[in-house]
Structure 1
Amino acid sequence: MEEEREHGGSGRTVCVTGASGFIGSWLVMTLLQRGYHVRATVRDPDNKSKVSHLLDLPKAGTHLTLWKADIMEEGSFDDPIHGCDGVFHVATPTEFSSKDPEMYFVGKTMAEKAAWEFAEENGLDLITIQPSIVIGPFITPSKPLSIELSIALITRNERLYPMLTRARAVHVVDVCNAHIYLLEHPQAKGRYICSSHCFTIFDLSKSLSQKYPEFNIPTKFESVDESLKPIPASSKKLLDLGFKFKYNSDEYDVGDLCSEAIETCREKGMLKL
């Protein structure tokens, strides 16, 4: 298993749950491009998560990458998982995002805690990735919450402004690359933050205003101090393992990340002003 991790896909089979989602769809595409065989599953957002589904995972050699996600309903995807060299669990609790964006993240945090407890009790090889706001082009038919966030200053969705006041972001390509890198790296263990950019709402406003002057993007925000400084989220553990961000903050600012999402929305006719 460890020797195979160093040589990419090489025909190995992995399972991706939540494959119809923003990250999941990109991950499937990236895995296929790298020579993996992929078994993909699509989650019913109305299902209630049950940690006991992890009992269906093979104990030996399993590498489960959890994107702060909820655990699948018991017995939902027995066949696609068995016989796989690894499982990427990237399903998201969409029932939270449609009602309360903050509960979306609460749900993920609670699910990850439950997953760690279950993995320890049952001897599972669990690795989790905590990305910040995932931005970039998307191939799903609808806009994910993180894409709604990235275009909030253009659509004037003020409900989302507080989540952009002091925020962190990462490109979807880097998130997918990190998933695969940790699967293939024999020394990978534990939790990894995956975040390349930290910014304030003023940083985002300035960058997008320069790129899209036609949108007349707001530059003043009520009750937000303009001297506000960003709060970084360290990806040191991931970088120390040898991972490199393709969309790093030295070459790309947060507006560059958002611009790809904006252009995708334009192409799909989803940018309603």
Structure 2
Amino acid sequence: MEEKMKDWEGKKVCVTGAAGFVASWLVKRLLLSGYRVIGTVRDPDDEKKVGHLLRLEGARERLQLVRADLMEEGSFDNAILGCHGVFHLASPVLGQPKSDPKAEILQPAIDGTLNVLRSCKKNPWLRRVVLTSSSSTVRIRDDLLPGVPLDESSWSSEELCENLKIWYPLSKTLAEKAAWKFCEDNGIDLVTLIPSFVVGPSLPPVLSSTASDVLGLLKGEREKFEFHGRMGYVHIDDVALSHILVYEKENARGRYLCTSTVLDIDELAAKLAPRYPALPIPKTFKKVERPHYDFDVSKIKGLGMRFRSIEEMFDDCVHFFTMQALLSPLSQPSS
């Protein structure tokens, strides 16, 4: 038993925002890989929010849920102390600003990230931090060149985000930049993972806005996806596996784009409609003028990552929604 405990201590990691859509899958994959996981949540006693985590394989032996709040400085100290790795996925709840977007959206995103990193700085056992960013930190630009895919060196234009009043991309961009500066100043080994739009089954019982958008598309609610225009897509399990990959690989450095396929919404519908003929997937969408872009994911593939196809990720989604009785039993993909 003592040897097992030593092994667990050597693979002890913290996952912030553990009950979230992506974080839940990461916790699942970490437990299956033998890690001991400290998961931070807003309320560890809320069965509706955290029950799905406690039922994961290995949770009884190797998962501990603790309370932490991004807006409380020092709130993550106890959760992170003694961990060799920290996966920071928690994000403040962001809506449309009522009056001051900088105070209501941008500053909380930056402060929340820095609060977690200040706790990391206090932990002498820390090996690496993996921060979950977003492809919106890369693709919001007005200088895209035809035939030149975006890579990890690309950053979204802060000025363009502010002019367009798209606060989520700006908040993620500023938070990631703040994280890089803090970690460089304090000698923390940071890697950032940059997923595109995440598709896949939901472990939490309440669907995230992302999962709800996918369900809406499959049910024919055109407006749920109309605003997407051109978008990268990635399977949720591949995102979880990518987190672990960039944490474990000693030679992992810097930022890593994480996406399988980039498609216009009309291209996506053209693939999905004939595959699921029983579903009312829209075949046409209101034209959204978005720049054409692609992603170069050779960096993460160089670590050994292989992504599932768009068909696989939506097959898993359709199967999940069907099993949850959110779609008709006739909605399985055609052969």
Taking structure 1 as the reference length, what is the TM-score of the superposition? 0.74
- What corresponds to 2:85 in structure 1? 86
> Following the alignment from structure 2 to structure 1, what is the Cα–Cα distance between the partners of residues 93 and 327?
21
More divergent stretch after superposition (70-79 vs 186-195)? 70-79
Residue 15 of structure 2: aligned partner: 16
Report the counterpart of residue 258 of structure 1 in structure 2: 314
Structure 2 counterpart of 1:94, one-letter code? V
SS of equivalent to 1:187: coil
| Structure 1 stretches lacking a partner, 5+ long | 1-7, 45-69
SS at 2:234 equivalent: strand
Residue 194 of structure 1 corresponds to which residue in structure 2? 258
Q: Deviations over 1:34-57 (max 9, x none)?
A: 11111111147xxxxxxxxxxxxx
CA distance in 2, matches of 1:117, 1:140: 33
What is aligned with 1:148? 212
Alignment partner of 1:214: what SS?
coil
- Match of residue 235 from structure 1: 297
Residue 161 of structure 1 is matched in structure 2 by 225
Matched, 1:37 2:36: yes
Does the alignment pair 1:244 with 2:312?
A: no
Structure 1 residues 263 and 92: alpha-carbon distance in aligned structure 2, compared to 1, 3 A threshold: farther
Deviations 1:171-228 (A, max 9, x none): 1111111111111111111111111111111222122212222222221223359xx9
**1:87-122 CA distances to partner (integer Å, 9 max, x unpaired)?**
001113333399999543332222112211211222
Identity %: 38
Give the whole-Å Cα distance in 1 for the aligned partners of 2:279 and 2:293: 27
Q: Which has the larger radius of gyration?
A: 2
Deviation, 1:164, is 2.8
Structure 2 portions without partners, runs of 5+: 1-6, 44-68, 99-104, 106-135, 137-165, 329-335
* Structure-1 separation of matches of 2:285 and 2:24: 35
State how far apart, in whole Å, the 2-side matches of 1:234 and 1:43 are: 36
Task: Identify if the C-alpha distance between structure 1 residues 10 and 199 changes in structure 2 by more than 3 Å, giving closer, same or farther.
Answer: farther
Contact 1:97–1:104, Cα closer than 8 Å, also in 2:
no
Instruction: Tell me which residue corresponds to 2:172.
Output: 108
Distance in 1 (alpha carbons) for counterparts of 2:15 and 2:31: 11
Q: Name the aligned partner's letter for residue 233 of structure 1.
A: F
Deviation at 1:79, TM superposition (A): 1.0
Report how many residues are paired. 232
**Superposed CA RMSD:** 3.1
* Structure 1 segment 59-138 matched on structure 2, within 5 A: 73-96=72-95, 103-138=167-202
How big is the shift at 1:258?
Answer: 2.2
Residues of 2 paired with 1:108 and 1:271: CA distance? Answer: 33
Output the CA distance in 2 between the equivalents of 1:146 and 1:103: 17
